[in-house]
């Protein structure tokens, strides 16, 4: 019986097995231009947390289910775990760390504090960034519409009534 001979090709000599080169990615994060060299599969969330040390943005599910990772890209809210950093090359990103101005809390940060709109606080950066995107959309919303528009942001502590009250305050209703 003949034995099948296999010849192993070292990864370094086999281009199909070699890891792809890292890519230069420029992000304007909270007004500061940052150029990183990242593996192409690096999510925006991991770029922020692991490469820029901006750990305010939270990783909950890493699958687009919880909203803990919400940031603003060009003013629009997105789940940063669902986009690769290379896809946002050149974009302006705002994280929770970039919302306060000159030591003054963003109206949403103040409203969340005023309304005790959190318990553990893990979902809070994502809730606030999502609400900031919602406010920027500029639509007058009923309480139910706010709930619907914020439904992508899960709060496992169940602080929903306080979160809605805080958003209403930031919308200038209370």
Rule CB under 6 A: choose which of 44, 72, 81, 146 binds ligand FES: 81
Count of Cβ atoms closer than 10 Å to residue 121 Cβ:
13
| Contact status: 72 vs ligand FES (CB under 6 A) | no
Q: Write the interaction track for ligand FES spanning residues 95-124; mark x where CB under 6 A is met and - where it is not.
A: -----------------------xxxxxxx
Rounded CA separation 23/34 (Å): 13
60 touches ligand FES (CB under 6 A): yes
- Name the burial class of residue 130, with classes exposed (0-12), middle (13-18) and buried (19+) by CB atoms within 10 angstroms of its CB: buried
Nearest to 147 by CA among 167, 172, 128, 132: 167
Residue 7 beta carbon to ligand FES: minimum distance, rounded to whole angstroms: 43
Taking CB under 6 A as the rule, does residue 62 contact ligand FES? yes
Residue 160 touches ligand FES, criterion: CB under 6 A: no
């Amino acid at each position: 019986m003949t034995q099948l001979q296999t010849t192993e090709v070292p990864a370094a000599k086999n281009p199909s097995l070699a890891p792809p080169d890292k890519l230069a990615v420029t992000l304007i994060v909270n007004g500061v231009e940052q150029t990183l060299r990242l593996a192409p599969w690096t999510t925006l969330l991991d770029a922020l947390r692991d490469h820029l040390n901006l750990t305010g943005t939270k990783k909950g599910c890493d699958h687009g289910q919880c909203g803990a990772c919400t940031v603003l890209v060009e003013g629009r809210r997105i789940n940063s775990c669902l986009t690769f950093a290379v896809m946002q090359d050149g974009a302006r990103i705002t994280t929770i760390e970039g919302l306060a101005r000159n030591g003054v809390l963003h109206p949403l940060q103040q409203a969340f504090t005023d309304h005790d709109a959190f318990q553990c606080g893990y979902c809070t950066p994502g809730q606030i960034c999502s609400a900031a995107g919602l406010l920027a959309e500029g639509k007058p919303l009923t309480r139910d519409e706010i709930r619907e528009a914020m439904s992508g942001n899960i709060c496992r502590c169940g602080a929903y009534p306080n979160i809605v009250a805080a958003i209403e305050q930031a919308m200038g209703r209370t």
